[in-house]
Amino acid sequence: MGEPLKKEDIRRVLEFYRAIGVESVPCEPKARPGTKAKARRLKTAEQKKGREEKQKALQALFNEEIKGCTGCKLSAGRHNIVFGEGNPAARLMFIGEAPGREEDLQGRPFVGDAGKLLTSLIEKMGFSREDVFIANIVKCRPEGNRDPEEDEIEACLPFLKKQIGIIAPEAIMALGRVASQTLLGTTVQISRLRGNFKSYEGIPLMPTFHPAYLLRNRKDKALTWQDAMQVLKLLGMDAG
């Protein structure tokens, strides 16, 4: 490095610029030591605070509106309400149709065979279950794992909408016909819906096949991965 300029040298340079009509010389301020690290710490603290606030909001929703719910006939036969789980500040949300037997017993979404397949998809996408949020259209198990009926969906859907509003994900993957048709307000078949982004309340929504369907139709797993890759691209992530 050369020697620092003396005051006299700087004065002559400035006089030269003034003589040729330059009124000012742009100067990029030098960041003080530790400024970037401080900004990162502030951002991390803000993210932590935002996550904690969303977790409190979700807990309040459960305690004040969902816990002990008897809003439809499904409440009579349940073991547990399956509220949903994951990151309250998730960028990506997965929404299925209803809890199954294992989910009802454990009080957690997607923990049976279909859940194992969903977990595999989540991990292949570069996430863990703790990174995303997983929920269902209805929060109690329909008897015999039947599809939830219209009145059951109508009773439970407001809870899910509030969850989505609190989490505010950047994208949603709707798993299967019931979830996709309910959130989009359509009767179009899932085979025609999947593969193209729709919109739910301004949030990009990708309809795709339900993991339980993929257990019976493994050839369509490739189509679901195509859907997942579109979601990753939307989120600015590389497909695994």
pLDDT digits (tens, 9 = 90+) for 80-100: 999 999 999 999 999 999 999
Does residue 69 form part of some domain? yes
pLDDT of residue 24: 63
Q: Domain for residue 179, yes or no?
A: yes
Please indicate, yes or no, if residue 108 is contained in any of the structural domains: yes
* 43 located within any domain: no
Instruction: Give the β-pairing of 171-175 and 203-208.
Output: parallel
Cα–Cα distance for residue pair 6/169, rounded to 1 Å: 56
Instruction: Give the Cα separation of 224 and 194 in Å (integer).
Output: 8
- Asked if residue 37 belongs to a domain, the reply is no
CA 26 to chain centre: 43
The domain total for the chain is 1
Q: Which domain holds residue 71?
A: 55-234
Residue 27 in domain: no
Q: At what angle do helices 113-124 and 221-234 cross, to 10 degrees?
A: 40
Q: What is the mean pLDDT of each run of 10 residues along the chain (240 residues)?
A: 62 66 59 66 78 97 96 96 98 98 97 97 98 98 95 98 98 98 98 97 98 96 98 88
The candidate with the shortest Cα–Cα distance to 234, out of 173, 184, 171, 183, is 171
d(CA 231, CA 1) in angstroms, rounded, equals: 49
Tens of pLDDT, residue by residue over 153-199, are 999 999 999 999 999 999 999 999 999 999 999 999 999 999 999 99
The answer to the question of residue 229 being in a domain is: yes
Beta-sheet pairing, 85-86 with 198-200: unpaired
> Is residue 157 situated within a structural domain?
yes
CATH number of the domain that residue 90 is part of? 3.40.470.10
Pairing state between β 133-136 and 85-86: antiparallel
